Structures are given as structure tokens and as C-alpha cells.
């Protein structure tokens, strides 16, 4: 079977079913507004002009070559379209259209089987049906206008279109960048095993995130996943792990979800990191993208709030991390600079509520984070309690000062540093402020988490993966 690499590098794209006002036009507009440099064509049965492009009545009417087709045509038209693709020497077609095996109807199952047969016979690779297809930042090809067009080192394969969009957006918003990504739906031709094998070979991909609901080949999946996880970091979210969830998965992508015990063994033996929610998946991608150098379980927590510091200590302890005490010399220095009445916890955790956003905070944090041999990871958190008297104008300045301090400290120390921020807690100004901090930190290569326990869980999973790897 030829490499799937050409799927991610088409030089010309055609959207079939690109009628004005329909989903095909939305696909078309997204591709037109992305950074794709190749030719883009529109096909619709009425040969109507759409988004400023001529509409071809048939794929076969397009002059010149077409590498990648996105199909938004009705399901019954899809088999003929595979034949047209073969005639036109199209490399791959992503079928957005649903109404195949996932519908549970005989007609849908037959259609899917036919598409699958035609794909195999012709060599045209079919992605889906019931999927969104390819997002390939390297060639500027995206199907939503807010997907980043910068290239990264994370591959993504996702059986659900909605979850694909969530993962790309949420991870991208926190600074993660992708090498190649694919939403692959019902997997009637290009399937999870093909994609895992592809990512194993792909030199542009260092880590792979997987959302899957089922497989048709457990034996092969087990082998491929094991090979991939031996070379690259793999994060797997299995949708439909409960019996009820497995039934829902069957109506979603027509997947045979299988028993969770079997999946758990398969994933565990493969060496992949198993996660259980979209949020955990994003936390893992943030961790492997921005904290690849974390070596151990000693953590220093600094930032705002006594009660927040107590709960933060619990969170790290719950996941097997320790907070080593601050050297006595540093405690003395702290005692001489911080007034006792401030009621701060001068140790590890270090509660700097009253000093946050100040030069004192910056200098102390810089010193602690940079200290060789003290901890493996420093975590700065900001808590709402600190900001409760701020006026709107000073709040904006504090946000800027905090963000800039974090970025400077990270640059100065070169040591692992993470930021934890509480979200969605109070009114608009605060919310916009924490988003500004996140954006700035993420752009500077700093991991941002939305809860302390989320950070601890992700770093723990990452370290357990590294420990297992070290044991061989």
C-alpha cells in the first residue's frame, strides 16, 4: 500500500457539492481563506458560480489535475464519484456526507460497503465517510478559519469531526501546533491502523494524539500501536468506553467499540498514554509540547493565595509529587523582605498574594525558578482572591506585568515552568485578563493549565510514560 503522505500534500483541491449556501460552499470558503497555494475548484450539479469560482458540473470537467476531493454531494452519488476520482487520477477523497453505516440502515451499510470496494479496486484513497478530512498546516490547508497555519510536531487523527475541531482549537489556543491532522469518520478505507503506520514513518511528527471509537482489526491495531508508541509519544482517547457509550459510538461512526477491558489491555500493553476526556487530551498535548524536559517529581508552587496554596499542595501530592522545603537561607531572605502581617506562607508552596505583580514577586520567582537542583518543575498560579480590590485600570496593568514577568522568567531560567490560571470565575474583565495572559504565555512557549489538578495529572502521566520507556 502506498504511503499516505500524498494525502497531506495535495497541489490541487476540488470541492464537490459546492452549491451556493450549502455546506460545500462553507468548505470551499474555508479553503479559499486558508493559506493553500494550489488550485481550488468548485463542482456542483447546476454548474453555478460559487464564491467567485466557476462551478463545474462534474469532476471530470475540471481542466488539469486534481489531487484531493472533498465530497459534500448526497450519499447515493458517492460511489460514482469514486469512479470519477479514479478516472481523474485523484489521490484521495474525503467524504463529508453522512448517511452510511452509522445510520444503521441497510441502504447506508450497502452504500458504505460499495464505496469501500470501489476505493480498494481503484486505488483512490477514501477518507470517511462522515468526516472533515485533512488539516495540513505545512501546505496551509485548513477547513476552519481559526486553525493555525504554523507547522508543529504533533499529529492528530480523530474519528469524530466535532471532537477534531475541539482538539485543534483548544490545543492551538494554548500554543500546541500540528504537523498533520485528519478527521477520518467511519474509516471505510483509510483507517486507524493505516494512519498510525503513517505517523510512525512521518518525520515531521514526534507525537500523535488519537481519538477513536472502534476498530475493525484489533490484532493489527495492537501491533501498529505498539510500534508507534515505541518510537513516538502517543495519547489515546477512546470514545465509547462504557457499554452505553459504545452503543452511541455505533450510531455515530458505525464503530464496533468492543469491551473496555480489551481496550484497556490493548492500550496499556502498547505503551500509549490513555486519557479519558477532551480536556485531558489537551492537557497532555500542552505537556508534551512545552514540558518535554521535566525529569522528576519535585515541584515548587508559587503565586497567589494561602488557601489556593494548600489545595495546590494536595493536588500535587495526590499525583505523587513532592514539594521540597525552601533552603533556610532563602526563607530568611524572604522573612526580611516580606512583612509578617501579610500572612504569607514563606516556604514551598510560596504564597506571594500580596506581592503578586510586583518587582518583588518577579525577583523572587526568577530566583526560585532558576535554582539548579532545587526542583524539576516550577508552577506559578494566580488566584482570584488577589485581585478582589483591583480597579479596572490597575487590573489591566497587573495582567500585563504578570504575563511579561512569566515570559522573562522562563527565558532567563531555561528551566521547566508552568502557569495555572482559574477560568470562568467572575465578570468579563477578569476573564479577558486571564485569556490575555494565556495567549501571551502560550505564544512564548509556556504551558498554561486551567486547574492545578489538571496540570498534576498530565505531568504525572507524562512522567509515568517516560519511566516505563526507561524500563524498556
Residue ranges in 377-406 that form contacts with its own copies under rule CB under 8 A? 383-386, 388-389
Interaction of residue 110 with its own copies, rule CB under 8 A: no
Taking the complex as a whole, the smallest distance from the CB of residue 301 to its own copies amounts, in Å, to 9
Write each residue from 33 to 72 as x if it is in contact with its own copies (CB under 8 A), else as -, in one continuous string: ----------------------------------------
Cα radius of gyration rounded to whole Å, the chain: 25
Phi, psi of 265 (to 5 degrees): -65, -45
Stretch that binds its own copies, among 3-11, 47-55, 307-315, 371-379 (CB under 8 A): 307-315
Closest CA to 291 of 471, 462, 467: 462
By C-beta, is 66 or 463 nearer to its own copies? Answer: 463
Per CB under 8 A, contacts with its own copies among 253-272 are 253
422, 437, 441, 461: which one binds its own copies (CB under 8 A): 422
Distance CA 155, CA 354 (A): 43
Neighbours of 121 (CB within 10 A): 11
Beta bridge partners of 302: 350, 380
Give just the sign of the alpha carbon dihedral 278, 282, 283, 287. Answer: positive
Span 124-163, contacts to its own copies by CB under 8 A: 130, 144, 146, 158-163
> CB 227 → its own copies: shortest distance, Å?
26
Q: Around 189, how many Cα atoms within 13 Å sit in the side-chain half-sphere?
A: 29
By CB under 8 A, residue 310 contacts its own copies: yes
Q: Select from 185, 183, 197 the least CA-distant residue to 130.
A: 185
Min separation Cβ 449 and its own copies, Å: 11
In this complex, which beta carbon is closest to its own copies, that of residue 90 or of residue 170? 170
Distance CA 206, CA 55 (A): 40
Q: What is the DSSP string of 149-205?
A: -S--SEEEEES-HHHHHHHHHHHHHTT--EEEEEE-TT-SSS-HHHHHHHHHH-TT-
Taking the least distance from each CB to its own copies, the nearer of 196 and 346 is 346
315-334: which residues touch its own copies (CB under 8 A)?
Answer: 315-318, 322-323
Residue 200 or 209 with smaller CB distance to its own copies: 209
51 torsion bin: left (phi>0), alpha (psi -120 to 50), beta (else): left
Closer to its own copies by Cβ: residue 91 or 281: 281
Interactions with its own copies, residue window 194-253 (CB under 8 A): 211, 213, 239-245, 247-249, 251-253
Residue 230's CB is within 10 A of a number of other CB atoms, namely: 13
CB 83 within 8 A of CB 100: no
Binding mask 344-373 for its own copies (x = CB under 8 A): xxxx-x-x-x--------------------
Q: 97 vs 398, which CB is nearer to its own copies?
A: 97
Nearest one of 430, 341, 318 to 383, comparing CA atoms: 430
With binding defined as CB under 8 A, does residue 416 bind its own copies?
Answer: no
**Run of H or E including 207:** strand 207-212
Least Cβ distance, residue 48 to its own copies (angstroms): 19
Shortest Å distance, C-beta 162 to its own copies = 3
Q: Does 21 participate in binding its own copies (rule CB under 8 A)?
A: no
Select from 39-47, 201-209, 301-309, 394-402 the region that touches its own copies (CB under 8 A): 301-309
Binding flag, residue 433, its own copies (CB under 8 A): no
* CB within 8 Å of 174: residues ≥ 6 apart: 282, 286, 438, 442, 447, 448
281-300 positions binding its own copies, by CB under 8 A: none
Q: Which CB sits closer to its own copies, 328 or 341? A: 341
Amino acid at each position: 500500500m502506498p504511503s499516505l503522505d500524498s494525502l497531506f500534500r495535495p497541489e490541487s483541491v476540488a470541492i464537490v457539492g459546492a452549491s451556493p449556501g450549502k455546506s460545500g460552499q462553507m468548505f470551499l470558503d474555508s479553503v479559499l481563506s486558508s493559506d493553500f497555494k494550489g488550485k481550488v475548484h468548485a463542482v456542483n450539479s447546476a454548474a453555478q458560480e460559487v464564491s467567485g469560482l466557476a462551478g463545474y458540473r462534474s469532476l471530470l470537467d475540471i481542466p488539469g489535475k486534481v489531487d484531493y476531493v472533498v465530497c459534500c454531494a448526497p450519499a447515493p452519488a458517492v460511489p460514482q464519484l469514486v469512479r470519477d476520482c479514479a478516472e481523474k487520477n485523484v489521490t484521495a477523497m474525503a467524504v463529508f456526507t453522512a448517511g452510511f453505516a452509522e445510520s444503521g440502515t441497510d441502504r447506508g451499510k450497502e452504500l458504505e460497503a460499495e464505496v469501500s470496494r470501489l476505493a480498494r479496486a481503484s486505488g483512490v484513497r477514501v477518507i470517511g465517510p462522515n468526516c472533515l478530512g485533512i488539516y495540513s498546516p505545512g501546505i496551509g490547508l485548513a477547513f476552519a478559519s481559526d486553525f493555525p497555519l504554523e507547522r508543529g510536531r504533533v499529529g492528530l487523527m480523530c474519528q469524530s469531526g466535532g471532537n477534531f475541531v475541539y482538539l485543534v482549537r483548544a490545543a492551538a489556543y494554548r500554543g500546541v501546533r500540528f504537523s498533520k491532522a485528519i478527521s477520518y469518520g467511519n474509516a471505510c478505507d483509510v483507517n486507524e491502523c493505516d494512519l498510525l503506520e503513517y505517523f510512525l514513518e512521518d518525520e515531521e511528527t514526534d507525537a500523535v494524539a488519537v481519538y477513536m471509537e472502534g476498530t475493525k482489526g484489533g490484532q493489527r491495531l495492537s501491533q501498529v500501536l505498539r510500534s508507534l508508541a515505541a518510537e513516538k509519544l502517543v495519547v489515546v482517547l477512546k470514545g465509547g468506553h462504557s457499554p452505553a457509550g459504545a452503543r452511541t459510538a455505533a450510531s455515530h461512526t458505525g464503530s464496533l467499540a468492543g469491551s473496555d477491558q480489551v481496550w484497556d489491555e490493548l492500550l496499556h500493553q502498547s505503551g500509549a498514554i490513555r486519557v479519558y476526556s477532551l480536556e485531558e487530551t489537551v492537557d497532555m498535548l500542552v505537556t508534551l509540547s512545552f514540558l518535554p524536559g521535566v525529569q522528576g517529581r519535585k515541584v515548587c508552587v508559587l503565586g497567589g493565595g494561602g488557601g489556593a496554596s494548600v489545595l495546590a499542595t494536595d493536588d500535587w501530592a495526590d499525583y505523587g509529587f513532592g514539594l521540597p522545603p525552601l533552603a533556610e537561607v532563602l526563607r530568611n531572605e524572604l522573612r526580611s523582605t516580606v512583612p509578617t502581617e501579610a500572612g504569607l506562607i514563606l516556604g514551598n508552596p510560596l504564597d506571594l498574594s500580596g506581592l503578586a505583580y510586583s518587582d518583588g514577586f518577579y525577583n523572587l520567582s526568577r530566583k526560585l525558578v532558576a535554582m539548579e537542583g532545587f526542583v524539576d518543575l516550577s508552577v506559578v498560579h494566580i488566584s482570584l482572591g488577589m485581585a478582589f480590590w483591583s480597579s479596572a485600570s490597575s487590573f489591566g496593568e497587573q495582567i500585563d506585568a504578570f504575563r511579561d514577568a512569566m515570559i522573562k522568567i522562563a527565558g532567563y531560567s531555561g528551566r521547566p515552568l508552568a502557569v495555572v490560571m482559574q477560568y470562568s470565575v467572575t465578570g468579563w474583565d477578569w476573564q479577558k485578563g486571564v485569556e490575555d495572559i494565556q495567549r501571551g504565555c502560550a505564544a512564548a512557549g509556556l504551558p498554561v493549565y486551567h486547574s492545578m489538578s489538571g496540570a498534576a495529572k498530565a505531568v504525572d502521566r507524562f512522567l509515568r510514560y517516560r519511566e516505563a520507556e526507561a524500563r524498556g
